[in-house]
Amino acid sequence: MKLFKNILDSVKPHFEAGGKLEKYYPVYDGFATFLFTPGHTAHSGAHVRDAIDLKRTMVTVIFAMIPALLFGMWNAGNLHYSALGLAESMTFMDKFLWGAIKVVPMLIVSYGVGLGVEFIFCIIKGHQIQEGFLVSGMLIPLIMPIDLPLWMLAISVIFAVVIGKEVFGGTGMNILNPALTARAFAFFAYPTYMSGDKVWINTSTDAGQSVVDGFSGATVLGDYATGGEVQYSTMDMFLGFIPGSIGETSTLMVLVGAAILLYTGIGSWKIMFSGVIGALAMGLIFNTFAEYAISPEQQAFMAVPAWQQLIMGGFAFGIVFMATDPVSAAQTERGKWIYGFLVGFFAIAIRVFNPAYPEGIMLAILFMNVMAPLIDHYVVQANINKRKKRLATVKAA
């Protein structure tokens, strides 16, 4: 740390007012505060300052995502070698390294491009660099398919940061979750690389290798949507040995992350809990009315036990890491219950009813992001009305 401190101190004069790199002060400030707690204190009045500021919050969320990330790397390798019929002969490290070689460039592109855009905007506007992108930059690769070309990832990141965040005023001002904005952009712009049964497992072959007979790269949800036979057991789905976006397959790893978020108090338990309730409610409604389905495929999908809907697809990942985004979620405590419930409710509804979108959690969260201010408005109004009424009864008495 001494080394960093020395470097920062030696370059500092260039960035301060009057220095030749004055314009780039936000960049210096961003690095300096990333490494060290700022030394300046409040100048007037009494301010209560929590030790946990935005940076520590973000870093905690990143820690919570690391289990899913590491598992995602291994899973990508495992699925790749399974498709080639080599899963038995490869060691754990082989699989992990194969996945890491695919995933790490995505992480680098996501962070490099996203932070680059943020830095440019901070320099133009003369703002302090905010750390909002630290989490988004990690989330974005985790919710993309393994084979997505890097330039598509880069364009999605640029779109998410510029249109999803900077136009609204940067970190803390965005209406939509930036990571999901990136995914939605990629999903609609390059649908053939974001959905279907070809993109979730890498089947590139070296000399002498070939894809096994009867191989299918469809996800569990894809199988249900098209009426195909689901080839994975419930345990596979829970542990995550299934095709899907890089980080979202393992419900177990997501639960580890959820535990970290809840223990540190960073993720809202109300949103997660009510989200699960909402999904179960929709699942039970479907179970009850499965016989009225319009097609046999849909009937099979509607008859899936409600609890099993929770461990398929990206539901768990979305509800833990993205629905709880403190900026785009509802702000009021009662609003969080409504918001979470409806996210879960709509996620399962979109998933089952619309075969064009086999997974509904992305659109459900984005939709509820837009609705969150409305929910908050009515929650606040209801509270005002309640207190007005109470005041009236007090006055009358």
Structural contact between residues 173 and 179, judged by C-beta atoms closer than 8 angstroms: no
Is the CB of 149 or the CB of 305 nearer to other proteins?
Answer: 149
CA–CA dist 393, 387 (Å, integer): 10
Interface with other proteins (CB under 8 A), residue from 126, 188, 356, 395: 188
Q: Which of 62, 87, 158, 163 binds other proteins (CB under 8 A)?
A: 163
| Shortest separation between residue 185's beta carbon and other proteins, angstroms | 6
**Closer Cβ to other proteins, 159 or 200, answer by number:** 159
Q: Which is nearer to other proteins, 151 or 215 (CB)?
A: 151
Compute the least distance from the CB of residue 346 to other proteins, in Å: 19
For 5-40, b/e burial (b = at least 16 CB within 10 A) is eeeeeeeeeebeeeeeeeebbbbbbbebbeeeeeee
How many Cβ atoms are within 10 Å of 298's Cβ, its own excluded? 19
Give the range of 65-73, 182-190, 200-208, 244-252 binding other proteins by CB under 8 A. Answer: 182-190
Decide if 339 contacts 331 (C-beta within 8 A).
Answer: no
- Least separation, in Å, of the C-beta of 189 and other proteins? 4
Whole-number Cα distances in Å, 348 to 319, 370, 392 = 12, 18, 43
- Rounded to whole angstroms, the Cα distance separating 214 from 134 reads 41
Q: Which is nearer to other proteins, 188 or 292 (CB)?
A: 188
Compare residues 168 and 273 and give the one whose CB is closer to other proteins.
168
Binding flags for other proteins, 220-259, as an x/- string (CB under 8 A): ----------------------------------------
Find the shortest distance in angstroms from Cβ 170 to other proteins: 14
Give 185 or 341: the residue with its C-beta nearer to other proteins. Answer: 185
- Closest CB to other proteins among 143 and 271? 143
Q: Does 191 bind other proteins (CB under 8 A)?
A: yes
Considering only residues 11, 59, 86, 152, which one is a binding residue for other proteins as defined by CB under 8 A?
152
Nearer to other proteins, 125 or 386 (CB): 125
Q: What is the four-CA torsion angle of 321, 112, 185, 166, rounded to 10 degrees?
A: 90
Taking a C-beta distance cutoff of 8 angstroms, is the pair 47, 251 a contact? no
By the rule CB under 8 A, 357 interacts with other proteins: no
User: Per the structure block, which two tokens stand in for 287?
Assistant: 């179970």
**CA separation for the pair 143, 180 (Å, rounded):** 8
Nearest to 364 by CA among 389, 393, 394, 328: 328
Query: Chain centroid to CA 8: how far?
Result: 33
| Member of 74, 133, 193, 341 binding other proteins (CB under 8 A) | 193
The residue among 163 and 284 lying less far from other proteins, judged by its C-beta, is: 163
Candidate list 28, 74, 185, 337; residue touching other proteins; CB under 8 A: 185
Interacting residues with other proteins between 131 and 150 (CB under 8 A): 149
Alpha-carbon span 60 to 51, nearest angstrom: 13
Q: Measure Cα distances from 196 to 200, 257, 304 in Å.
A: 8, 28, 21
As a whole number of angstroms, the distance between CA 365 and CA 347 comes to: 8
Contacts with other proteins in 295-314 (CB under 8 A)?
none
User: What is the rounded end-to-end Cα distance, in angstroms, of the chain?
Assistant: 67
Q: Check binding of 192 to other proteins (CB under 8 A).
A: yes
Residues that bind other proteins (CB under 8 A): 149, 151-152, 155, 163, 167, 185, 188-193
